[in-house]
Amino acid sequence: MKSYEALRTAPNPDHAVVRGPGEVEVHLHVNGESRTAIIEPRVSLLDALRDRLELTGTKKGCNQGACGACTVWVDGRRVLSCLTLAITCENREVTTIEALSEGDTLHPMQQAFLDCDAFQCGYCTPGQIMSAVALLAEGHVGDDTEIGEWMSGNICRCAAYPHIRAAIRRVRDEGGPGDASR
Amino acid sequence: MRPVSYSRATDVGAAIGAVSADPESAFLAGGTTQVDLLRIYVEQPRRLVDINDLPLNRIEELPGGGLRLGGLARMSDVAEEPELVRRYPMVAEALLLGASPQLRHMATIAGNLMQRVRCSYFRDVAAGCNKRAPGTGCSAIDGINRGHAVLGTSDCCIATHPSDLGVALVALDAVVQTEGPGGTRSIPIDDFFLLPGQTPEREHPLTHGELVTGIDLPPLPVAATSRYIKIRDRESYEFALASVAVAMSVVDDRITEIRLALGGVATKPWRARQAERLLDGAPATTESFTRAAEAELAPAVPHGMNTFKIELARRTIVRALEIMAQREGTT
């Protein structure tokens, strides 16, 4: 968490002031960049990312915290952006699927999902990958039962689960970057 | 979702002051229940006071040997605390068998106690529901009630309390620490959860603006030998149909200490006191376990689709006790 301390203490609007309910300036830090959105306090992080910041890699599935398609990292931890209000993320680091690749070089987990055929329709895939990379950093990838339990917050309607687990095993066994802070 | 205003509290006093001064305001912590309920208009505060920056996320030793869990500690952090895993394994198990990894990173343990029921009629603002809109009737009693409670119900409400953590906490006699406009107080966990009776809208004794600052786990050596067993429709990421928190010690094949609580079958996390009375001092046999389970479920009231829960709860109790007896026998 140490790398987020500077952000936590960075100058920002006086948080104690009551803002909204109309549109207000919300200062976010997304994928290493400072971004400003003019939004109401009730806007979710998911909607702010997709509709205001043009980061549409994060998907809206159920919009009620049941499916995991909207998984992003806040301060390096995987969370659900549909149940997070964007304004609560001021002074926190938000990371989305767009930050994983370096140019045209895919993150090893992205490559493994391609190589292992770990998706069909692909709608849940960004959430699956954000969850999978975070899981490698958390541990809990000992065997398929453990992987299944710790990936259970990401539903795949096409049921590509065996291949998703295979992709995670491959990155685990290659000792590739499972580093959520990357 | 209705429009809301927002502020972020920098200290506990300011947070309590902001919420208690305005009847239409609410604390916002992990948000996993609250944002969901805001979106479907079940909860409609006009102002949210974000308490996530308050220094209430620590896990500390209590004088005398207990543990204090800060109210804002996240489910995932509490579940991995080594001293908690060693001294109160049922609490760690209950946390890890609840929700999903993402939700456990967000949800606080105070919020876990404050979460609302998952009754589909409570969540549907077009349906009658005495908990959401007192006096409008209970749609679940003659409705789709497979997931509903068989213990602690009333003719006003049969919604199941959804918490796994709460079940382990009532078995342990945990104490809820609060701070509010009237000062601080300590509330025994069994008094914190209220039966629905004729006032199902009242789920806990907190006043508006009173904040759960922590949960104290008392020193309890037998808790080091404890389990949380959860039965559900799928293997992960699902609420309990029946669950059991149990701590037990056996000496010379007799039960010398027992703590037992049920989840998934009652309107509050259910301390199985009737079963405990029968088990205390009894031989650690399936016969004793069965008798205790039957006694605990004797007052159960089914409502059609949830009738199966009575037998399921009995069997879950017996299985949990058998698991504990076998483990005790081998150590």
- The per-residue pLDDT for range B124-140, each reduced to its tens digit, is 999 999 999 999 999 99
Domain final position from B33, B50, B67: B50
Sort out which chain A residues have CB atoms less than 8 A from B6's CB and list them.
Answer: 18-20, 41, 85, 87
Mean pLDDT of the region B238-257: 97
**Cβ distance B45 to B26 under 8 Å?**
yes
Whether residue A1 is predicted with pLDDT greater than 60 in this model: the reply is no
Whether residue B41 is predicted with pLDDT greater than 60 in this model: the reply is yes
User: pLDDT digits over B158-192, tens only?
Assistant: 999 999 999 999 999 999 999 999 999 999 999 99
Nearest to A18 among B47, B101, B105 (CB): B47
Mean pLDDT of the region B30-43: 97
Whether residue A2 is predicted with pLDDT greater than 50 in this model: the reply is no
Judge whether B146 lies within some domain: no
**pLDDT value at position B240?**
97
Written as six digits, the tokens of B218 are: 């008392």
Average pLDDT, chain A: 91
Tell me the β-bridge partners of B6: A19, B48
For residue B37, give the chain A residue with the closest CA.
A64
Whether residue B145 is predicted with pLDDT greater than 90 in this model: the reply is yes
Judge whether B307 lies within some domain: yes
Question: Which stretch of DSSP H or E encloses residue B227?
Answer: strand B226-231
Average pLDDT, chain B: 97
Instruction: State the Rg of chain A over Cα.
Output: 17
Written as six digits, the tokens of B194 are: 């209220």
Alpha-carbon span A128 to A122, nearest angstrom: 10
Looking at the domain covering A2-99, what would its CATH class be? Answer: alpha beta
Whether residue A180 is predicted with pLDDT greater than 50 in this model: the reply is no
Amino acid identity of B283?
A: P
Contact state of B46 with A40 under an 8 Å Cβ cutoff: no
For residue B10, give the chain A residue with the closest CA.
A16
Mean pLDDT of the region A82-95: 98
Nearest to B100 among A19, A84, A152 (CB): A152
Mean pLDDT of the region B99-120: 98
Nearest to A79 among B53, B105, B237 (CB): B105
Whether residue B331 is predicted with pLDDT greater than 90 in this model: the reply is no
Whether residue A147 is predicted with pLDDT greater than 80 in this model: the reply is yes
**Cβ distance B222 to B245 under 8 Å?**
no
Contact state of A80 with B7 under an 8 Å Cβ cutoff: no
Which residue in this structure is represented by tokens 């409008």?
A: B136
The share of chain B scoring above pLDDT 70, in percent, equals 99
Mean pLDDT of the region B103-118: 98
Judge whether B20 lies within some domain: yes
**How far is the alpha carbon of B154 from chain A, nearest alpha carbon, in Å?**
29
**pLDDT value at position A16?**
78
DSSP states of chain A: -GGGHHHHTS--S-TTS-B-SS-EEEEEEETTEEEEEEE-TT-BHHHIIIIIS--TTS--SSSSSSS-TTEEEETTEEEEGGGSBGGGGTTSEEE-GGGTSBTTB--HHHHHHHHTT--SS-TTHHHHHHHHHHHHHH---SSHHHHHHHTTTS--TT--HHHHHHHHHHHHHHT----TT-
**Cβ distance B107 to B85 under 8 Å?**
no
User: pLDDT digits over B44-101, tens only?
Assistant: 999 999 999 999 999 999 999 999 999 999 999 999 999 999 999 999 999 999 999 9
Of the candidates B157, B150, B110, the residue with the CA atom closest to the CA atom of residue B132: B157
**pLDDT value at position B49?**
98
Higher pLDDT, A12 or A61: A61
Mean pLDDT of the region A108-112: 98
Judge whether B321 lies within some domain: yes
CATH 1.10.150.120 segments of chain A? 108-174
The vertex-B84 CA angle with B78 and B90, nearest 5°, equals: 95
Sort out which chain A residues have CB atoms less than 8 A from B123's CB and list them.
Answer: none
| pLDDT-derived band at A10, boundaries 50, 70, 90 | low
Judge whether B101 lies within some domain: no
Higher pLDDT, A16 or B18: B18
| pLDDT-derived band at A172, boundaries 50, 70, 90 | very high
Whether residue B30 is predicted with pLDDT greater than 50 in this model: the reply is yes
Buried b (16+ CB within 10 A) or exposed e, B195-233: bbeeebeebbebeebbbbbbbbbeebeebebbbbbbbee
B5: which DSSP letter? Answer: E
Sort out which chain B residues have CB atoms less than 8 A from A42's CB and list them.
Answer: 1-4, 38
CATH number reported for the structural domain that contains residue B246 in this entry: 3.30.390.50
Whether residue A150 is predicted with pLDDT greater than 90 in this model: the reply is yes
Give the Cβ contact number of residue B134 at 10 Å. Answer: 14
CATH 3.10.20.30 segments of chain A? 2-99
* Structural domains of chain B, count: 2
Mean pLDDT of the region B297-311: 98
Judge whether B322 lies within some domain: yes
Instruction: State the Rg of chain B over Cα.
Output: 20
Contact state of B38 with A42 under an 8 Å Cβ cutoff: yes
**How far is the alpha carbon of B289 from chain A, nearest alpha carbon, in Å?**
30
Written as six digits, the tokens of B119 are: 């009754």
Instruction: Phi first, then psi: give them for residue B16, nearest 5 degrees.
Output: -65, -40
- Where are the alpha helices (H) located in B101-238, listed in sequence order? 101-106, 109-114, 165-172, 189-192
The share of chain A scoring above pLDDT 70, in percent, equals 88
| pLDDT-derived band at A182, boundaries 50, 70, 90 | very low
Measured torsion, CA atoms of residues A139, A145, A150, A153, in degrees rounded to the nearest 10: 160
Whether residue B275 is predicted with pLDDT greater than 50 in this model: the reply is yes
Of the candidates A106, A87, A89, A96, the residue with the CA atom closest to the CA atom of residue A40: A87
Sort out which chain B residues have CB atoms less than 8 A from A77's CB and list them.
Answer: 76, 105
CATH number reported for the structural domain that contains residue B16 in this entry: 3.30.43
CATH of A108-174, one of 1.10.630.10, 3.30.2350.10, 1.10.150.120, 1.10.1270.20: 1.10.150.120
Domain range for residue B15? 5-50
**pLDDT value at position A181?**
39
For residue A91, give the chain B residue with the closest CA.
B53
